[in-house]
Chains A and B, each alone.
Chain A
Amino acid sequence: MDRRRLGAWGEKKAIAYLRGKGASILAVNFRCKAGEIDIIAREGSTVVFVEVKTRRDFVGGLPCESVGEGKQRRIARAAGAYLSAGCGDRRLAGADFRFDVIEVLLLGGRAWLRHVKGAFWGE
């Protein structure tokens, strides 16, 4: 599997995981000038912006560690763009928001997931 296919595979696993938890998926691979968001989901009254990191090993540290400050800022800006562009429906107005990271690890042909809730803030 090359890098791009690995990433797409991880995102699919993460979406399946979120659906399994009862979340509804609002958007996948949302792109705008400010940046990109892998998954935008809704968990009850909370809208969650998810960054998915897929890896095959721990060379280079934990997957979530690679979501640095610059990446966080881009995601937060993209989230703002998503909300103001009216991509979401009106029900988002009173919602809470959260930034999560889901780590997907491909080890021995299996997917291992770790969900870091509230991984960072939009500041």
Chain B
Amino acid sequence: MSENLAAGARIVKSAGLSGLSGFEVLVETSIANGLPVFLIVGLPDSAVREARDRVRAVVRNLGFDFPMKRILVNLAPADTRKEGPLYDLPIALGLLVASGQLGAVPDDTIFAGELSLDGGLRPVAGVLPMALSVRDAGARHMFVPADNASEAALADGLNVYPARHISEIIEHLRGGAGIAPAGVYAAPADLERYPDFADVRGQETTRRAIEVAVSGAHNILLSGTAGGGKSMMAKRVPSILPPMDRDEMIESTAIHSIAGMTERGSPLLLRRPFRSPHHTVSSSGMAGGGRLPKPGEMSLAHNGVLFLDEFPEFHRDVLECMRQPMEDGQVTITRANGSFTYPSRFMLVCAMNPCKCGWHGHHSGRCACSEESVRRYLGRISGPILDRIDIFAAVPPVEYDELSGGRAGEPSADIRRRVAAARKRQAARQGAPNAQLTNAQLREFCPIGGDGEKLMKAAYEKLDLSARAYSRILKVARSIADLSSSDRIECEHLAEAIQYRNMCVKEL
């Protein structure tokens, strides 16, 4: 014991998070003579400060001696905020080491976990991004609560040891019964668990518009009367997106991990996320918020679909805060203690009613809105966001024959195959989906013939298009051409693309 005390502070390693990137935290414990105090310093938040009382109880309850001395726990680096109860475990171990009740722990080993008062380990949030970061920083082993193990094990090359109780870890460190490292998580093969487009009857034109949008990663706005199936189709958009590769899955899972939204049994996010925040969502709910900001809806939808139903009802400031992230593919939130960046590359799908009551243009004539009120309703939509939407699709009411007819819609798997082929052409040509074509690339890859020029000129003048709308039409036409495996943009492709713009000019 005296030997340990002579060495001064004892170090147990843990991890912390700043945005999506983690860092190593050194938990230093020093036990000195003096009035008995137990202090935790190093910018702990209140959950960390409460570790004091949990650790005190746990150490005693396990039958160890809790020294009545001056105990100082420092969480280094001292200038970064530490949040959450995950330091319970390393603080308890550090105390045992510093008081000579446990040998020194190896310094390539990371500990994280919340303690219950009897020494049981509870799961904590953000384990995956931490595991990835400490692995890259050179750590080789990580002890985590059993419920977090499969998530942490997604970090290849890191030995993850799941534990249900702190005594298992103490036993392991003492060289007794060892904990078996968690195996690599094997993803189940059945990815076909999205709602399927086969459930959607009729709506051929809307289905086509969605297919074009997905194949070029264009943002899309669906407008139509209530009950036409806007939400139903939006929910099925992820089913025709190409499946995520492993890096994308890990990235999305890490974001969900920070938000504490991973599933314990199957931590890896296999399916593209589909987020549909309610229109009352706040801007910090959308972008991410909190004193140490958690990812918001835009980041949770990363690699997937962000669906905004009742689009005009969203608060203006919420839509405004989406502009930059949609442009950059990432959200940066600045707080007094630093700025935090989360990725946010998503496909935006919006749905709206044509007017306040939702029946404008319906053949039943149920709409009671005045022209003025319709205009006001449409005027609510934020212009800058509208600028980032390439395709506007009207969703007509479903005819009775289509609904009752026995013919099911085309299944998602078939559509996905066409989308994948179109995306492959785009990747081979410019390495990015068409929605991200630069102006220079537009000139290079989207030449239109003489007939096409004539068509565009007519549309430009007749529909009063802007220069921006012009390039958007070209991008959409490029996607349509890609869908029909055509290297050239033909007149029919252009005509279809103009039509997706046309509706917008008429109504907005």
SS of B interface (majority): loop
* Known contacts A121-B38, A123-B38, A123-B39, A94 near B68 by CB under 8 Å: no
* Shortest CB distance A54–B (Å): 25
Segment from B28-36, B133-141, B183-191 that makes contact with A: B28-36
Distance A119 CA – B446 CA, assembled complex (angstroms): 80
Mask: chain B, 127-165; 1 = CB below 8 Å from A; 0 = not: 000000000000000000000000000000000000000
* Contacts between chains A and B (CB distance < 8 A), count: 31
Looking across the interface, which residue of chain B has its beta carbon closest to that of A97?
B35
Q: Cβ of A115 < 8 Å from any Cβ of B?
A: no
Q: Cβ of A57 < 8 Å from any Cβ of B?
A: no
Distance A79 CA – B68 CA, assembled complex (angstroms): 15
- Pick from A79, A93, A121 the residue with the most CB of B within 10 Å: A121
| A122 x B36 contact (CB < 8 A) | yes
Distance A123 CA – B69 CA, assembled complex (angstroms): 11
Chain A residues, Cβ within 8 Å of B36: 96-99, 118, 121-122
| B33 x A96 contact (CB < 8 A) | yes
Chain A residues, Cβ within 8 Å of B385: none
Count residues on chain B whose CB falls below 8 Å from chain A CBs.
Answer: 9
Chain A residues, Cβ within 8 Å of B39: 123
| A97 x B34 contact (CB < 8 A) | yes
Mask: chain B, 13-55; 1 = CB below 8 Å from A; 0 = not: 0000000000000000000011111110000000000000000
Interface of chain A residues 55 through 99 with chain B (CB within 8 A): 76, 79-80, 83, 93-99
Going nearest first, the 10 A-B pairs with the smallest beta carbon separation are: A122-B35, A123-B37, A122-B37, A121-B36, A97-B35, A98-B68, A122-B36, A121-B37, A97-B36, A96-B68
A-B contact list, 24 entries, CB within 8 Å = A46-B68, A76-B35, A79-B35, A80-B35, A93-B33, A95-B33, A96-B33, A96-B36, A96-B68, A97-B34, A97-B36, A98-B36, A98-B68, A99-B36, A118-B36, A118-B68, A121-B36, A121-B37, A121-B38, A122-B35, A122-B36, A122-B37, A123-B37, A123-B39
Listed in ascending order, the chain B residues whose CB lies under 8 Å from chain A are: 33-39, 68-69
